Every structure is written in C-alpha cells, then in structure tokens.
Structure 1
Amino acid sequence: MDHRAMVRLSKRMSLALRHEPARFGLAPDRAGWVPVDDLLAALRIDRVDLDAVVAGNDKQRFAVERGADGAERIRANQGHSIPVDLGLTPSAPPARLYHGTSRVALDSIRATGLHRAGRHHVHLSPDVATARRVGARRAGELVVLTVDAAAMARDGHAFYRSANGVWLTDAVPARYLAD
C-alpha cells in the first residue's frame, strides 16, 4: 500500500474508531474496542491493509489485541470524541512536555491555555520532534509550546500516558506554557 492510501485508510479508521462508529455500523465496547472482523467488514478492507496501517502509522494510533473471548479486537489509543474508558491510570509526567500548534492559535492559547475541545484530553508530546510532527498537520506556521508538566503535577493536575506514549491531561492553563 502506498503512503497516500495508508493515510486515507488511517483517517477512515480514526473516524470509525474515535468519532463516528455508528456511521459505520460499529458498536465499541466501554473501552473503545471493536472486533477486527467487524471493522474489516464495515470499511470493506482486508486484513493485510489493516495490519499495514496499524504497523506503519508513525503515531501508533491503533492497538490490536486478543480479547478474553479469543477474538481479535482493535481500538484507537486516544483522541476519542465518543465516550470511552481507556483504563488509564495517573502517571508522573516528565518535567517538560510539548505541544505543536499553528502560530494563528497562539494568542488564544496564551490567553486561555490548551483545552481538550471535543476530545477527552489535551494531547502532549514527550519531545520537540514529536510535537513538530504532530503540529505540522495544522495549517500555517508551526510553533512548539513547552509545558511545565512538573509544576502542573505539583499543583494537582493529573497526567496519563497512553499506550503509544502520548501524554494526556484535562487542560493546560496558560501559566504553565512557554513558547
């Protein structure tokens, strides 16, 4: 599968698993899992293509595992706008985390901080390179913000680390941000 086809399929899988499963006739369980066979049928794709996207996605957006019933299932690691319980437990973050965004959003972020919008959490990167890669998806000039995660944690903000290494929190107040 070429890169463009992989990106297109990854976006469809994200839509089906993170945002609009009902549109595809899918019914995720409480933790966001759906049977792999159901996703293959809903998207009309084969297992080879699904495996290529899961293995080849640079952000490791998806997880596949065998459920207690022996059937394989898949879910998105984070970024859901539908109710899911990812089973995340609070973790002590590194001293600094990073968030890539566009310069046009900077004034608003400086005034009000980072908010989860329609998702469950704000997504933060463990390093500048990852934040740049994530932020590059946004239009306009890229800016990488530094989050004083150590101070946030000391002040009682909870952090979670998803299966693919993305750090999650409910919000980042502006006072913890530097650019």
Structure 2
Amino acid sequence: MDAKNRTRVSKRLSLHLRHAPREIGLTLEPGGWIGVDTLLTALAAHGLRLTRAELEEVVTGNDKRRFAFDERGERIRASQGHSVDVDLALPTAEPPAVLYHGTVDRFLAAILREGLRPMKRHAVHLSTSVETATTVGARRGKPVLLSIDARAMTEAGHEFQLSANGVWLTAAVPPEYLSCP
C-alpha cells in the first residue's frame, strides 16, 4: 500500500474509531476496543475493503501510532483523541516535570486566560517533545509553543495518563501552569 492510501485509510480509521463508530454500525467495547474482524466487515460494507495485512500495515506504519492492537491482536482501538464517550482505562502516570502543547496565535489569549481545555475531546493532549508540539501547532498555522508545569500540576493533585503512543493526557491545564518559553 502506498503512502497516500495508508493516509486515507488512517483517516478513515480515525473517523470510525475516535469520532463516528455508529456511522458504519460499530459500537465500541469498554476501553474503546472493537474486534478486528468486526471492523473489517463494517468498513467493507461501507466501501473500504481492507485485508488484515493492510490494516496491520496502516497500524504499524503510522508515524503517530494512532492505533493499537490488544495483546492477542484480536481487537483494535484508537490510542487517544476520542470525541465519543469512551474510557480508555489508562492508569494514572507520573509525567515529566515539563510537558508541551502546540497551538496558534489566534487561540493564545484565550488559552492563557482560561487554560487548556479538551474542547470536543476527552482530554488535553500534551507532548514531551518540543518538536512534536510544534508540529501539532503547525497544522493550523504558525505554531506557538506552550510549556506546562506538569510537576506543579501533579503536586496540586492533577492527574495524567500516558497513552499507548506516548501522548500525555489530562482533564485540563489551568492557566497558572502555562507559559510561553
């Protein structure tokens, strides 16, 4: 499968595993899981014929590791970023002292005033990498990098989870923990 088709399939998987499973008749199991065979059947019924090998290629070849198979390889889920109600059952984890978030200038004043909120998703997404956060911010224009004092947040009782693809998740980041480096 070429890169263009991998991207097309990845976007379709994101749509149905993160945002609109019911559009193709899926009901996500607890943890956001769905049987691989169930997913492939539903995709085929809605115009996307995909083999198990092609699905594995998209999952393992995705540079952002957006999707994960369970230990037995029988189920699949999106690693994070859901807008549908799903509890990924990720354990609370101790984050590094500083995390990063990429945004654009037009949102900066509101973020500095109100903090980071999950908006349509279930959690705020944070990165350990300046480069990753900058890349995320650049999707909407000239990126602005925010630093998050994760150590102080943890000490104040805020909880963090680490998704399978290395994205740090938290319910919200109050403005007092944000700075522009």
- How far did residue 136 of structure 1 move? 2.5
Q: Map residues 105-116 of structure 1 onto 2, 5 A cutoff.
A: 105-116=107-118
Quote the residue 1:124 is aligned against.
126
Alignment of 1:147-158 (within 5 A): 147-158=148-159
Greater fraction strand: 1
The one-letter code sitting in structure 2 at the alignment partner of 1:115 is R
Distance 2:60 2:135 in 1: 18
AA partner of residue 93 (structure 2):
S
Q: TM-score, normalised by structure 1?
A: 0.92
Q: How far apart, in 1, do the equivalents of 2:75 and 2:39 lie?
A: 9
How many percent identity over aligned positions? 54
For residues 108 and 63 of structure 2, the distance between their equivalents in structure 1, rounded to whole angstroms, comes to 26
Secondary structure at the aligned position of 1:31 is classed as helix
Give the equivalent residue in structure 1 for 2:81: 79
Q: TM-score, normalised by structure 2?
A: 0.91
**1:1-179 to 2 correspondences below 5 Å:** 1-44=1-44, 45-66=50-71, 72-137=74-139, 139-179=140-180
Distance 1:150 1:122 in 2: 16
Quote the Cα distance in structure 2 between the aligned partners of 1:36 and 1:98. Answer: 33
Instruction: List alignment gaps of at least 5 residues for structure 2.
Output: 45-49
159 and 66 in structure 1: CA distance in 2 versus 1, 3 angstrom threshold: closer
CA distance in 1, matches of 2:69, 2:177: 35
Q: What SS class does the counterpart of residue 156 from structure 1 fall into? A: coil
Tell me, yes or no, if the aligned pair for 2:125 and 2:168 is still in contact at 8 Å. yes
Deviation of the 1:106 alpha carbon: 0.9
How much does 1:66 deviate?
A: 4.8
Q: RMSD of the alignment, in Å? A: 1.4
| Counterparts of 1:104 and 1:125, CA distance in 2 | 21
Q: Between Structure 1 and Structure 2, how many residues are aligned?
A: 175
